[in-house]
Structure 1
């Protein structure tokens, strides 16, 4: 599907080295956007950028850690130098580490909070001025946060802290509309259901078994199906804001 309204825009996508982030970056670039890809894995980022450029798109690999202020500041400076003002920000980077609460793995809780919530805040704050400037010029300006249905759904033992971070992102997205919408900036919160991503491969055997059970029961979305949703919401006319989108495999309830 083609979304002509994305041509000429400048996007930042976090967690762009794989999974949903990679798919979003590739999709936006295919629609004519210039895309800055942020992630920690330089080799993987370079491979994705090479793929985009080979297909005729424009992309910039920016190695950055969204949990680190200095790293984000350096990334913002590089993006501004290369592309100027950003008008589309996709907060996708995330960490999922399931554990029973009684194990009290504080370091793992902190890792999820730092990436899934504070990282979103850090990137949003870094580009808030850009988004406002883009909207003031009369163009479209979008903040798209990738949350999760785990923000709402219960019944997944061990995922309480992950779900809590995603619930915070969902609520944050709703509240940010109060700050951004009067300036003409759209905020969209996307909550994927079961999705085929690399994140599950990083889990321990018990965690992979839990995710595998969900895939077997419900099926799974592909990253490019989620990317299509992001492209769709960002390509609507400037006065149209799809503020909340939950995307599930058809069999998931």
Structure 2
């Protein structure tokens, strides 16, 4: 599918080695953007980049860990060396580690906060200057944060994950108030049940079985469905901001 207003743009997508991130990178490249793929898995990133190139797109794989300040800064420098200024950023990297709060798994809490919240902030810090400068010159500038329906929906044992995603959703609203007057669009996307690697991170057989049951009863989105939403939102005319998008399987309440 082609989208207006993506041709010639430079996009950075985090968590681009698989799932929603990979699908978003592919969709943006199909729309004509040159895409920088950021994630920790170098070999897998290069596979995605090669797939984009095989389809006629332009892609650069940059290994980065959003939980590490220096790693993100090095990645940002590599992006600018290769492509110059960035005008489209998709914060997609995330981790979901549900467990009962009484288990007190501080290591998991820290990992989710470092990735889902601080990781988003590190990427924002690295590229916001580019977005503001692009908009000031009359270009289209987009910041997209991929949150989750878990920011609003209440699921037992997902308290910390849901809290991190609620933080992303509210952060997006606050950033729109800060960056919108500078003509930088901020879009928050909240997917519902989506077929990605996130569910493979569960180490509780009970929670894994419960989640599998939800997928079977409700159905799920594909990563490409969410990518389509991101590509559509970022391809609107620069004066149109789709600020908050909830995308669910039809049967999900």
Normalization by structure 1: what TM-score? 0.98
C-alpha distance in 2 between matches for 1:117 and 1:206: 27
What CA RMSD, in Å, does the superposition of the two structures yield over aligned residues?
0.7
Structure 1 unaligned regions, length at least 5:
none
Asked if the contact 2:199–2:208 (Cα under 8 Å) also holds between the matched residues in 1, the reply is yes
Aligned equivalent of 1:252: 252
Equivalences for residues 42-81 of structure 1 within 5 A: 42-81=42-81
TM superposition shift of 1:213: 1.5
Is 1:241 the equivalent of 2:241?
A: yes
C-alpha distance in 2 between matches for 1:210 and 1:55: 38
Structure 2 unaligned regions, length at least 5:
none
Aligned equivalent of 2:157: 158
Aligned equivalent of 1:110: 110
- Which whole-Å deviations, capped at 9, do the CAs of 1:195-222 have from their partners, x for residues lacking one? 0001112222233212211111211000
Aligned equivalent of 1:124: 124
Aligned equivalent of 2:192: 193
Is 1:4 the equivalent of 2:17?
A: no
C-alpha distance in 2 between matches for 1:139 and 1:28: 17
Aligned equivalent of 1:145: 145
- Which whole-Å deviations, capped at 9, do the CAs of 1:119-175 have from their partners, x for residues lacking one? 001101110100001111111100000000000001x22111000000000000000
The 3-state SS of whatever aligns with 2:157 is coil
C-alpha distance in 1 between matches for 2:131 and 2:46: 26
Aligned equivalent of 1:168: 167
Normalization by structure 2: what TM-score? 0.98
Asked if the contact 1:192–1:247 (Cα under 8 Å) also holds between the matched residues in 2, the reply is yes
C-alpha distance in 1 between matches for 2:242 and 2:51: 30
Aligned equivalent of 1:221: 221
